[in-house]
Chain A
Amino acid sequence: MKPLKSFFRLIKGLFVPDRSPVSALQEEALQTPAKTIVKNFLRQKLGILGVLGFIAMLMFSFVGSNLKPIDLSYVETTLRNIRPGRNYLKYPAALERDGVSNISSGVSFSIGLSEKGDVYVWGREPAYVLEGVSTSVLRVPESVRAADIVMVVAGDRHALALDSTGRLHGWGFNNFQQAEAPVQLAAKLSAKPVKQLIADEAYSAVLFEDGELYVWGSVMNNRLDSIPAAIQGRIVKVAPSAHNMALLLDDGTVAVIGIRGNPFSQVPGQLQDGSTRVVDLIASYRAVLALDDRGQLYMWGDVQYDVLAIPDFSGKIVAMDSGKNNMMLLLDTGRVIYWGGNHFNQLALPAAMSNSNVVEIYTEMFQSYAVTDTGKMFAWGNKGFVFGTDEFGRDVLTRLIHGGRISLTVGAIAVVISVFIALFIGMTSGFFGGWVDMVLMRFTDIVTSIPFLPIAITLSAVLGGRVSQTQRIYLIMVIIGVLSWTGLARLIRAQILLEREKDFVLAARALGVKQKNIIVRHILPNVFNLVIVSITLSYAGSLLTEAGLSFLGFGVSTPTPSWGNMLQGAQTSAVMQYYWWRWLIPGLFVVITALCANLIGDALREAMDPKANEK
């Protein structure tokens, strides 16, 4: 029992101060220099703040990068330059209350039509290429609010709504006039009923009840607007994708129009010759899924994101819908089957949903919604991005986490290299003196007169092209380390020369202490204090240097993120002006980390200063 008791006493001693009286002499003896320094340091609020802030940054980067893995090759340009926000799935309560008629999603927003005919839009504004040509997709136009809307659809960045009088309203991204109905179409709309509204990234389309399909917008490269005469007027359903459309015809066969020769257009033979009757058809970005009248599924297209791997299930399919890289089925048992890409947690179906009977499903892009028989709504998929996205639609938060890991590591190793060189040169110079000192100090002079930034970027450009990406990161560490040790080396030398002349060294010598012991026990401790302070301060410096080099494009190179190279894309005025989160947030992370390191360094210097104790 005894060891256990003393163990507890030890633990207790860590938290509860020992109150047993100690005489002044004892206390004097108890207080080692290291203890004094720690004690002094703990007295400084700013220093503590610096330590806490720095630990927070370390946790953010090193723990975060394990929790949130990064796929460096993944880009999703439709999600580019979206401002911070995590409300993509926050559908209005009124929509759930009134009952859902339809929900359709764009890249970062969704549009909903309630049973009462009210139109709701929620989410974040996507980035438009030309401000002025497009209107905000989040702001539902007055004309839409006033009209009796019967159908809505969302494209990637625009929305269309059809009212009961046959008028088509469009708003949002309009660079290809895809958000306004052409004159020719308006006449048709007033003459015959509409079966399906279609909107994709750059084009829009209307399918009429009589089987005619009308496409407009940007169709120059895929010629989707020229529908072959053989199928025009026989179309029952349209499954759109960026470059193709899969069409279900009235005889149950499938045709694909648009760009030829890609996997999307390779329709299986039995779906074309009339031997199978297809009843429903959906398309993701690069794949098509068809259902025949016997309940059999057919799938073709690109294998990307495992979208072709249909999971096993039992039950009758009652509805199907598709996201950008996903497919979704609703079974008669009320179960939802969902598969495909999972970069935005699209596959994380709400747990509560498995106990309820889903009757309607809506999925598009990366957002999914389901409505149960009791009218309750479920939403899952892409919630949004806390810090927005960059020019390739990559999550800024994820890149910050992983960039932090790189930046903090590069800074640390660069400092280690520079401190090693400085210690070696400074100590050799200080202890040996004479010609060794002279040669080393001349050498230090030479390195001091090397212009840091110009030579660093030249070296990085000249050598960086010949090495791999990982080696380039090492190269940056070495360049920063090798060019930035001179100040510390001089300081160490000066300190050693200073300490050597002090009285306590003389006293030690007079007492007959060996030369080696004088150096190790009397001089070095005083030098090391200096080194520790200098390490923290120059850590901040090398963090800033790495950021500067990467900012200019001579540091860590993309797609590997670093805090500096995340700002590299921010040199255009469009980014500075409109996409502020792309430079402000990584910039603030650099500033905060450097500030924390500087606070720690300052507090350490104060704590180690013997004069500070006298106060």
Chain B
Amino acid sequence: MLRYIIKRLLSLIPVIIIISMLLFALLKLMPGDPVRLMLGPGLRAEEYRAAEIVMRAKLGLDRSYPEQYFLWIRNTAQGELGWSTLYNRPVIEAIREPMKNTIMLNVVVIILQLSITLPIGIMSAVKRGSRFDSFWQVFSLITYSMPSFFVALSLIYIVAFRFRLLPPGGMPLSTIGTGAAYYVSLMRYMALPAITLIIISLAGTIRYVRNAMIDALSQDYIRTARSKGLREKVVIYSHAFRNALIPISTIVVFSIFSLFSGSAITETVFSWNGIGRVLVRALNNRDFMLVSAMNLFFATLGITAQLVADITYGLVDPRIKLE
């Protein structure tokens, strides 16, 4: 197993190199002169010229692109991500809170999503063609065709404005403290964005689980298990589901990844102070250091997802290790 993981890790190296080059190129493509941004207004022409040379050397901008690339890699590795003009503090500090919020929201969504989709997917496959199955088939077909902002706007309209059950968006007030009241308030604010993300990610996973289960249930070993006289529960959960887990585990890892990178829209609609919303705000305010830090986070997440998917694949499918 360890050998397999090491092999996977090694094969990620070219991926990391190319993605980092892409991120660096994006950073260089961004409009605006970082030196001018750092120096700010209020300098006279000759003062500015002198300060510019110093700053340019300090930021390493006077060197060649390959040198700048390695400098950037070194700084990034040390956690020096630059200065955010939007929040007026170091990027690393500016993204701490949003990152916490995004992870919190997505963890809740993933837990709920899996605990809903797995039973439904399994049931649909077992009772294939039943009313239960067709209901979820139709449901997933419709939600699959819905853009997330449409789900979000509809929920806000119905739940927040028509029935006034939950706030239409935002974050708990900072004055509320950190006690139980804070968590209640947090849950109220989190409910709608979480429901939105669950609804839009439900369809894909239910369909995938159902198909994987149907495939597993049509295998010969299921017939064998049944003819041995095993209880249906054992057949489904112990024989079929374990084998269905192999394809499911991969899709789950990737759905988590796409959930993170896709939550920008939902976060923006609900003013949930997460990294997706910060990215959109940073782009609109031309805070490009912040933008590249965000993209770095998402890219790291993408590569990690790839690795995790490979490893879980190896864990759940013993055949992989043997190859």
Contact = CB atoms under 8 A, between A and B. Distances in A.
B258 A590 contact: no
A457 B262 CA distance: 11
B149 A567 contact: yes
Interface stretch (B18-26, B78-86, B111-119, B179-187): B18-26
Contacts of B15: 442, 445-446, 449
A605 to B, nearest CB: 11
B145 A540 contact: yes
Interface residues of B, number: 50
A554 interface: yes
B30 A580 contact: no
B145 A594 contact: yes
B113 to A, nearest CB: 18
A361 to B, nearest CB: 43
Interface string B240-268: 00000000000000000110111011001
B268 A552 contact: yes
Nearest to A544: B147
Given A449-B305, A452-B258, A540-B145, A576 B161 contact: yes
Nearest to A564: B147
Interface stretch (A152-160, A461-469, A504-512): A461-469
Contacts of B169: 573
Given A448-B306, A449-B19, A458-B26, A554 B283 contact: yes
Contacts of A583: 150, 153
A570 interface: yes
B11 to A, nearest CB: 7
Interface string A178-203: 00000000000000000000000000
B150 A450 contact: no
A551 B153 CA distance: 12
A449 B302 contact: yes
B107 to A, nearest CB: 18
Interface in A568-586: 570-571, 573, 576-577, 580, 583-584
A577 B157 contact: yes
A583 B18 CA distance: 40
A457 B264 contact: yes
Contacts of A442: 11, 14-15
Interface residues of A, number: 46
Nearest to A596: B145
A336 interface: no
Nearest to B156: A576
A540 B143 CA distance: 12
B295 interface: yes
A446 B19 contact: yes
A454 B153 contact: no
Contacts of B178: none
A166 interface: no
B283 A548 contact: no
A587 B149 CA distance: 9
Contacts of B157: 576-577, 580, 584
A540 B156 CA distance: 24
A148 to B, nearest CB: 43
A610 to B, nearest CB: 15
Given A594-B146, A595-B142, A552 B26 contact: no
A455 B31 CA distance: 16
B141 A595 contact: yes
B261 A591 contact: no
A458 B283 contact: yes
Among A442, A453, A571, the one with the most B-chain Cβ atoms within 10 Å of its Cβ is A453
Nearest to A46: B141
A457 B142 contact: no
B121 interface: no
Contacts of A551: 147, 149, 265
B283 A457 contact: yes
B145 A454 contact: no
B109 interface: no
Among A450, A451, A540, A595, the one with the most B-chain Cβ atoms within 10 Å of its Cβ is A451
B283 A461 contact: yes
A451 B302 contact: yes
A286 B302 CA distance: 59
Contacts of A554: 283
B261 A452 contact: yes
Contact of B294 (A454, A584, A587): A454
A587 B153 contact: yes
A445 B306 contact: yes
B168 A453 contact: no
11 contacts: A446-B14, A449-B19, A450-B299, A454-B264, A462-B31, A466-B31, A548-B147, A552-B265, A567-B153, A576-B161, A595-B145
Would you list the 6 A-B pairs with minimal beta carbon distance, nearest first? A451-B298, A449-B302, A451-B261, A594-B145, A595-B145, A587-B150
Given A449-B15, A454-B261, A461-B291, 17 more contacts: A448-B306, A449-B305, A457-B279, A458-B26, A466-B31, A547-B147, A570-B153, A573-B156, A576-B161, A583-B153, A584-B154, A584-B157, A587-B147, A587-B153, A590-B150, A591-B150, A594-B145
Interface of A: 442, 445-446, 448-455, 457-459, 461-463, 465-466, 540, 544, 547-548, 551-554, 564, 567, 570-571, 573, 576-577, 580, 583-584, 587, 590-591, 594-595, 597-599, 602
Interface of B: 11, 14-15, 18-19, 22, 26, 29-31, 141-142, 144-150, 153-154, 156-157, 161, 168-169, 257-258, 260-262, 264-265, 268-269, 276, 279-280, 283-284, 291, 294-295, 298-299, 301-303, 305-306
